[in-house]
Structure 1
Amino acid sequence: MIKEKVITISKMLQIEDILGKKVDKISGDQKQRVAIGRALVRSPSLLLLDEPLSNLDALLRSAVFDCLDFVGQTDIDTFPIYYQNRFYIHSIYRRKYGLLHKLTYDYSVHNNI
């Protein structure tokens, strides 16, 4: 089952040709896609993404954006953080059924980390 997930996700992220390579032998955008793939294979209930598209070229940015859109349609709650939207970091939100629900305030986030 895990092997099938790895194959499916690596095709979606266009990294199937680098699966056996060492991390220091792949580019920055490939590292970013590998990190996203590792997270997706584990089927998390929450996926916190810090600048998920920052190291990708324009073509791959579109492909990964489509992948993240797909993730948004699953049971995985996604929370991408972008520098431009840094004010969202001060609170933790959960997206459910397309709606954002606030879970905590900034003081509790900072005090509980």
Structure 2
Amino acid sequence: MTDKTPAQLADTAGDAIRALNHATLSTRPDWEYPGDAYSVVGNLAYMAGMLPQAIEQITQLLTTLEGENHLKSDRDTLGDDLEAAYAGLHIAAGAAETLRGALTRAQNGLGAVAYKD
């Protein structure tokens, strides 16, 4: 377990992707072969596969808070705000699953690709 909050963990994940973006900008000793890309794509597929559960648990939190009448809107449009939030979360979960599938397909393709001198 961790002492970090869910928001802090999401921030850490974002920082890790930012670092990945920087690490893949140019060739380096650990980023020069197809196997390197295969590993990164596989790890990204794993990450994307975990997102729907996190999104569902966010939705569950909001649903619980809504059911307990613990939510309000600063714009006095709570119903519309929650409708937008739930719709966005639903779309995001589907997009994450689509992303996982696409990355898995890419990794499968990379499985047969090798470096040639």
Q: TM-score range by the shorter chain?
A: under 0.3
Name the structure, 1 or 2, with higher relative contact order (CA <8 Å, separation 6+).
2
TM-score w.r.t. structure 2 length? 0.25
Tell me which structure has the larger Cα radius of gyration: 2
Say which structure is richer in strand: 1
